[in-house]
């Protein structure tokens, strides 16, 4: 009999609320014969304030034993900026070698977009997750003085770039339109830019059916608002990926519906699934958060573990739910979760 | 009697065409008693192919003698990516210490935006121009092998950050809404992020009337498409500024109308004014380019040199011209230039 052994990290703010709904829908969609085991971890601001710890070696050992991780959101204004991001979120992505950060953007029928007209948006961003300016390399001298110098070092390796570029080409190859865009800034960041561009062009030779294009990150932001239908698969570095996926989320229905997977394709470590949004402390505890992004992250999680039919059922339930929202009164977090659970079970 | 001694760099592609119109409008707007002298420089792809040179010490000496520089666009597909950007554009910005890169975004009445509704957009981005990941620091080892490592180093100094932050606060103070947003990614790029944030907060104490906010660059892209009216003045680093100003241009009428100034506030070196758009080789030589961004850059140039009334006349002429475009047949580059020249003279 099959089983899923899931680590659950509700985290801070609305993380608690949205993860509860994600689990509700997960339970509802799974067939009877699949045994779902969940273990909850209390990472985030409370634990940091109580113990000073963000993520210990023992924590990593414990997490490692799970099939996958579902995360709500981490971050709170009471913790200095960077402490939980670097000490937990990025530490985990790096420790578990989550080098494929997968962020689909699909504007579903009936969903509002800030863009005029009715753009067709259906693309996926493959963001590198373990290199670039996110490595924490760099430092500060003469801190706090008028002679302070602070550096940030973007580290890019052929190994790291090639594996994520290959992953993106394979995804493009498997999609009907078979298009892949590389986003970088190779006219200014020439060292990293040439590495990315050369590897991209080399791997492209192995995928003759995939149509490729290159664009600078600044130009990409223009296309994302003027011609979002242009994109099918995008591959890009860690920082550019962070920026363009928030913009992509904004134009394709908002961060209320933006899901993501931090994937370790080899399976050596569990992959982690989380909504793109943060902990939103301003609306936490009020039942106002939209759990849809978390529910869609659960679909990515199921797809990653091989439960394609169940993932598709969630996607369909969300599409149906979203298409019926216009003009209706706002529902609470758990009402939306309930509605989705009913749909996926039905 | 007054005089303006202008260096003119038409550059590549549509640069030639739009600069001609910029000069046409400049001549038309200047009072009789102002003597306009222009000297044209042939920098760009042609010169690079002919001589291998992008910008020599002698070139810099020559440019230094002018009151200001008007640039069209530099860049051509025949030149490898980065050669002209690093060898000319960035070399000049760094050599002349253009640390205030000024990019206003204003959605004028009658101008199309990709955003739904009728957003009110009127803000200015103060982008740092001489530091960050643009310094060219970094390098490559084991180039072309599977063990290649490429780094890019973002360099940030208290000196460099404070002067641009001060400039931005002064601009915010001088505007009716008196709002200033710092855009960075201080939760991940913690070394540079803390330097920027600390200096921003310190300088803020000297400007108690200015309302400040901080936002991460990823979140900023969301606000730029969902709440662009939120912004008044933005200050940010070189790379984030590059990205958000292209997005800002896209939502406020497109890069056809986005002007910029690379400013050396002390006046030690001449400042340079250029449209945000590139050389657009695909439409070059066809009279299709919109010279408006260049004409608005001429207005920034005039304002910088103290010709406020003339700058305002150009802004008004452009606003009037744009407001009458809808439904009319497209005009050529020179027809638009002629129309603007008539308006500013009239
Ligand atoms: C919170 C932060 C560390 C994170 C990132 O920059 O990757 C977030 O913005 C995201 O996109 O997942
Ligand atoms: C061409 C390039 C070097 C330049 C930049 O990145 O600054 C351009 O994108 C700009 O915004 O002026």
Q: Which domains can be identified in chain A, with CATH numbers?
A: 1-98+271-346 (3.40.718.10), 113-252 (3.40.718.10)
Task: Indicate whether A316 pLDDT > 80.
Answer: yes
Catalytic (active site) residue B242: yes
The confidence score (pLDDT) of residue A74 equals 97
Predicted local confidence at residue B180, as pLDDT: 99
- A106 given a catalytic annotation: no
User: Averaged over B179-195, what is the pLDDT?
Assistant: 98
Q: Can you give the pLDDT at residue A148?
A: 98
* Probe target for ligand 1 pocket from A82, A89, A259, with the most ligand atoms within 8 Å of CB: A89
- Residue A132 per-residue DSSP state: B
pLDDT by residue (tens digit) across B10-24?
A: 999 999 999 999 999
Average pLDDT for A309-337: 96
Query: Is A242 annotated in the active site?
Result: yes
Would you say residue A40 has pLDDT above 80? yes
pLDDT value for B250 = 98
What tens digit of pLDDT does each residue of B149-161 get? 999 999 999 999 9
Residue A315 has pLDDT above 90, yes or no: yes
pLDDT at A346: 74
pLDDT of the residue at A57: 98
Quote the pLDDT of residue B80. Answer: 95
CB contact under 8 A, A151 and B195: no
Assess whether pLDDT exceeds 80 at residue B1.
Answer: no
Task: Please report the pLDDT score of residue A146 as a whole number.
Answer: 97
Mean pLDDT, chain A, rounded, equals 97
Query: Is B59 known as a binding-site position?
Result: no
- CA proximity to A67, closest of A25, A36, A33: A36
Confidence of residue B110 (pLDDT cuts 50, 70, 90): confident
**What are the chain A neighbours of B79 within 8 Å (beta carbons)?**
none
Interface of B with A in 293-322 (CB under 8 A): none
Q: What is the pLDDT of residues B219-228, one digit of tens each?
A: 999 999 999 9
With contacts defined as CB-CB under 8 Å, which chain B residues touch A190?
81-82, 86, 136
- State the catalytic residue, choosing from A185, A232, A237, A315: A185
> Band of the pLDDT at B254, cuts 50, 70, 90?
very high
pLDDT at B210: 98
| Cβ of A222 below 6 Å from ligand 2 | no
A187 Cβ closer than 6 Å to some ligand 2 atom: yes
Residue A331 pLDDT class (50, 70, 90 cuts)? very high
Kindly state whether B178 is in contact with chain A, defined as any CB-CB distance less than 8 angstroms: no
Which of the four pLDDT bands, split at 50, 70 and 90, describes residue B326? Answer: confident
Q: What is the mean pLDDT of residues A281-303?
A: 97
* pLDDT of B28 strictly over 90: yes
B316 near B25, Cβ under 8 Å? no
Are A151 and B151 in contact (CB < 8 Å)?
Answer: no
In a 3-state reduction of DSSP, which class is residue A322? helix
- Residue B339, min C-alpha distance to chain A (Å): 28
Taking only the tens place, the pLDDT of each residue in B188-215 is 999 999 999 999 999 999 999 999 999 9
Residue A131 parent element (H or E) = none
CA pair distance A92, A175, nearest whole angstrom: 30
Q: Percentage of chain B surpassing pLDDT 70? A: 100
Return the H-helix or E-strand segment holding A266: none
Q: Is B162 on the interface with A (CB under 8 A)?
A: yes
A–B: how many Cβ contacts below 8 A? 215
pLDDT of residue A326: 87
What is the rounded CA–CA span in Å between residue B315 and residue B293? 11
Tell me: the pLDDT tens digits for A183-201? 999 999 999 999 999 999 9
Q: Which residue has a Cα nearest atom 12 of ligand 1?
A: A276
Annotated binding site of A for substrate: 93, 103, 127, 218
Name the token pair of A139: 């430092």
Q: Which atom of ligand 1 is nearest to the CA of A260?
A: 12
Contact of B184 with B240, CB cutoff 8 Å: yes
Cα–Cα distance, A111 to A258 (Å, whole number)? 13
Percent of chain A with pLDDT over 90: 98
Q: Which of residues 140-159 of A touch B (CB under 8 A)?
A: 140, 142, 144-159
pLDDT of amino acid B140: 98
A110 confidence band (pLDDT: 50, 70, 90): confident
Which burial class, exposed, middle or buried, applies to B228 when counting CB atoms under 10 A from its CB (0-12, 13-18, 19+)?
buried
Where does the pLDDT of residue A24 fall: very low under 50, low under 70, confident under 90, or very high at 90 and above? very high
Taking only residues 270 to 289 of chain B, the set having a beta carbon closer than 8 angstroms to any beta carbon of chain A reads none
Tell me: the pLDDT tens digits for B44-96?
Answer: 999 999 999 999 999 999 999 999 999 999 999 999 999 999 999 999 999 99
pLDDT bin (cut points 50, 70, 90) of residue A251 is very high
pLDDT of B336 > 90? The answer is yes
Instruction: Write down the pLDDT at residue A71.
Output: 98
Token pair listed for A120:
């067709």
Mean pLDDT, chain B, rounded, equals 97
- pLDDT tier, A4 (very low <50, low <70, confident <90, very high otherwise): very high
The predicted-structure confidence for B78-87, as pLDDT tens digits, reads as follows: 999 999 999 9
Q: Which pLDDT band holds residue B288 (cuts at 50, 70, 90)?
A: very high
Q: Which residues sit opposite B227 in a β-bridge?
A: none
Residue B320 has pLDDT above 90, yes or no: yes
Which of A114, A134, A195 should be substituted to probe chain B, the one whose Cβ sees the most B Cβ atoms within 10 Å? A114
Model confidence, pTM: 0.97
Instruction: Give the pLDDT mean for A19-48.
Output: 97
Among B185, B232, B237, B315, the one annotated catalytic: B185
- The 3 state secondary structure assigned to chain B is CCEEEEEEEEECCCHHHHHHHHHHHHHHHCCCCCEEEEEECCCCHHHHHHHCCCCCHHHHHHHHCCCEEEEEECCCCCCCCCHHHHHHHHHHHHHCCCCEEEEEEECCCCCCCCECCCCCCEEEEEEECCCEHHHCCEEEECCCCCCCEEEEEEEEEHHHHHHHHHHHHHHHHCCCCCEEEEEECCCCCHHHHHHHHHHHHHHHCCCCCCEEEEEEHHHHHHHHHHCHHHCCEEEECHHHHHHHHHHHHHHCCCHHHCEEEEECCCCCCCEEEEECCCCCHHHCCCCCCCCHHHHHHHHHHHHHCCCHHHHHHHHHHHHHHHHCCCCCCCCCHHHHHHHHHHHHHC
The residue whose C-alpha atom lies closest to atom 1 belonging to ligand 1 is A85
Residue A110 — left, alpha, or beta (φ > 0 → left; ψ -120 to 50 → alpha)? left
For residue B245, the chain A residues in CB contact (below 8 A) are 218
Cβ contact (<8 Å) for A187 and B221? no
Which strand (E) or helix (H) includes residue A200?
Answer: helix A190-204
Token pair 């992250």: residue? A297
Report percent pLDDT > 70 for chain A: 100
Q: Strand (E) positions, A198-293? A: 211-216, 233-236, 259-263, 271-275
Pairwise CA distance, residues B236 & B240, whole Å: 6
């Amino acid at each position: 009999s099959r089983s899923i052994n899931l680590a659950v990290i509700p985290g801070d703010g609305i993380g608690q609320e949205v993860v509860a709904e994600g689990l509700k829908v997960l339970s509802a969609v799974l067939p009877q014969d699949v045994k779902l085991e969940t273990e909850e971890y209390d990472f985030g601001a409370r634990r940091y304030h109580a113990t000073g710890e963000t993520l210990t070696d023992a924590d990593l050992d414990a997490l490692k034993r799970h099939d996958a991780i579902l995360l709500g959101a981490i971050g709170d204004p009471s913790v200095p900026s960077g402490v939980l991001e670097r000490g937990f979120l990025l530490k985990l992505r790096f420790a578990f070698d989550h080098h494929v950060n997968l962020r689909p953007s699909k504007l579903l029928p009936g969903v509002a977009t800030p863009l005029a007209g009715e753009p067709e948006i259906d693309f996926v961003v493959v963001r590198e997750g373990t290199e670039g300016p996110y490595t924490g390399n760099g430092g500060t001298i003469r801190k706090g003085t008028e002679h302070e110098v602070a550096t940030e070092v973007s580290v890019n390796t052929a190994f790291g770039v090639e594996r994520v570029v290959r992953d993106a080409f394979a995804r493009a190859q498997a999609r009907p339109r078979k298009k892949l865009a590389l986003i970088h800034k190779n006219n200014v960041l020439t060292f990293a830019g040439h590495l990315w561009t050369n590897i991209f062009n080399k791997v492209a030779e192995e995928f003759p059916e995939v149509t490729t294009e290159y664009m600078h990150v600044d130009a990409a932001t223009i296309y994302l608002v003027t011609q979002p239908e242009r994109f099918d698969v995008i591959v890009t570095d860690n920082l550019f990926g962070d920026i363009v996926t928030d913009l992509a989320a904004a134009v394709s229905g908002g961060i209320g519906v933006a899901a993501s997977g931090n994937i370790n394709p080899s399976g050596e470590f569990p992959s982690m699934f989380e909504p793109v949004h943060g902990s939103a402390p301003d609306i936490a505890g009020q039942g106002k958060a939209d759990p849809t992004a978390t529910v869609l992250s659960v679909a990515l999680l199921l797809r990653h573990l091989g439960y394609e039919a169940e993932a598709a059922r969630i996607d369909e339930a969300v599409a149906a739910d979203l298409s019926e929202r216009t003009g209706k009164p706002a529902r609470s977090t758990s009402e939306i979760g309930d509605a989705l659970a009913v749909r996926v079970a039905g």
